[in-house]
Amino acid sequence: MDTPVELAEAAALASPRAIDTPDPMRPVPFVVLQNTRETGDTFTLTLQPAGAPAPFRFAPGQFNMLYVFGVGEVPISISGDPARPELLVHTIRAVGAATRALQKLQKGEVVGVRGPFGTAWPVEPAHGHDVVVVAGGIGLAPLRPALYHLLLHRVQYGRLVLLCGARTPKDLIYARELREWRGRFDMEVDVTVDRATADWQGAVGVVTRLVERAPFDPGSAMAFVCGPEVMIRFAVMALEQRGVAARSVHVSMERNMKCAVGLCGHCQFGSRFVCRDGPVFPYDQTLPFFGMREV
């Protein structure tokens, strides 16, 4: 085993990138092509690199750090189509200073982008399996790239089920796409809201109840779950109750992030760095910490 300083010397010498490395903390400028309102406080930015156009390749589930001049940076999942990397798409909820500043951006304005970071939804290991996607609220945004991928390579998967929960019908994001997907014969889409409006004819109740009835084979299905952490807890319980193994359930986690490259320490969850070992985790790897208080 190398002594610590030999290790360090090797790292510094064998890869001169240590000094020449493009600084992982330096953003790249991107221009806003479009800023579309999705619901009350949720909007979608479509971005392209400032200067020469270049594809932004990413894996579904990964995120970027978006920088607003003088305000700060936030981690936002990428929610576009990985097969169309010429456009970088982010659906964002305005809840703090930086996201509210992003919400005000107009076409032609510039943001800083660092990324892509993090682990991806396991769309390759899911080949040959049923895939159950459980999305709560804005949790559908980090799942959309996976759905695009699954649909593009539809023949490689078994049954495809999307279970979607939102606060009210007005809070459903990607409503147009949900309707298109619901019209497909090779995909089951179930949508429920916590509280209905007068004109809502669909299901009312928590999204976890949809898990009980969804048509998939629990013995071999893989589940991708994204939403508020409490919702993830209950969704995982419902999936396990149907017989889906913990290692076949994949969840996307969130923690405070400052650097997104595993160096600032903020995003730690147990011994995992959410920015580097996540944000997508097989559920069994989040144990025993998942559900423990104040971890």
Partner 1 sequence: MVATTLEPSLASQPFFEGLSAPHLALLTGCTSNAVFNAGELIFREGQPADRFYLLRHGRVGLEIFLPAGGPLTIETLEQGEVLGFSWLFPPYKSRFDARALTLVRALSLDGACLRRKCEEDTALGYELMKRFAPLIIARLESTRMQLLDLYGHAR
Partner 2 sequence: MGQSSTVILEPARLADLFAALHDEGYEIVGPTVRDGAVVYETLSSTSELPQGVGDEQSPGSYRLRERNDSALFGYAVGPHSWKRYLHPPRVTLIRAQRSAEGMTFASDGEPPPRRAFVGVRPCDLAAIALQDRVLLGGPHVDPVYAARRRSCLVIAVNCTEPSATCFCASVETGPRARTGFDLALTELAAGAGGVSPGILVEVGTPAGAALVEKLEQRPASAAELQRADELLAAAAARMSRRLATAGLEERLYARYEDPAWDAIGQRCLACANCTQVCPSCFCTTVVDSTSLELDPAGAQGPKAERHRLWDSCFTLDFTYIHGGSVRTSAGARYRQWLTHKLAAWRDQFGACGCVGCGRCITWCPAGIDITAEANALGAAPAPGR
Between CA 217 and CA 146 the distance in angstroms is: 20
Which of 205, 219, 243, 265 binds partner 1 (CB under 8 A)? It is 205
Contacts of 150 (CB under 8 A, 6+ apart): 123, 126, 131, 133, 157, 160
Of positions 127, 153, 159, 167, contacts partner 1 by CB under 8 A:
167
The answer to whether 79 and 142 have CB atoms below 8 angstroms apart is yes
At residue 179, the 3 state secondary structure works out as: helix
The residue written with tokens 């999204």 in the block is 207
At a CB cut-off of 8 Å and minimum separation 6, what does 282 contact?
A: 122, 246, 247, 248, 249, 250
- The window from 70-78, 123-131, 202-210, 253-261 that contacts partner 1 (CB under 8 A) reads 202-210
Distances (CA, A) of 290 to 19, 24, 132, 287: 38, 29, 21, 5
Interacting residue with partner 1 among 109, 194, 217, 240 (CB under 8 A): 194
Residue 185, SS3 per DSSP:
coil
Q: Residue 134 or residue 275: which is nearer to partner 2 going by CB?
A: 275
Binding site for partner 2 (CB under 8 A): 3-8, 11-12, 15, 17-19, 21, 23-29, 31, 50, 67, 69-73, 95, 110, 112, 254-256, 258-259, 261-266, 268, 270-271, 273, 276, 288-289, 292-295
Smallest distance from the beta carbon of 29 to partner 1, in angstroms?
29
- Is residue 99 at the binding interface for partner 1, with CB under 8 A as the rule? no
Minimum separation from the CB atom of position 53 to partner 1 (A): 36
- Give the whole-angstrom CA distance, residue 199 versus residue 288: 43
How crowded is residue 32: how many other Cβ atoms within 10 Å of its Cβ? 17
Query: Which listed option, partner 2, partner 1, none, makes contact with residue 196 (CB within 5 to 8 Å by class)?
Result: partner 1
Residue number, 205 or 265, with CB nearest to partner 1: 205
Q: Residue 52 and residue 145: Cα distance in Å, rounded?
A: 24
Structure tokens at 234: 């209950």
Least distance from C-beta 191 to partner 1, angstroms?
Answer: 11
Choose between 96 and 125: whose C-beta lies nearer to partner 1: 96
Minimum CB–partner distance for residue 176 and partner 2 (Å): 27
- Please report how close the Cβ of residue 113 comes to partner 1 at its closest, in angstroms: 24
| Site of interaction with partner 1 (CB under 8 A) | 41, 95, 136-138, 165-167, 171, 192, 194-196, 198, 200-206, 208-209, 213, 227-228, 230-231, 234
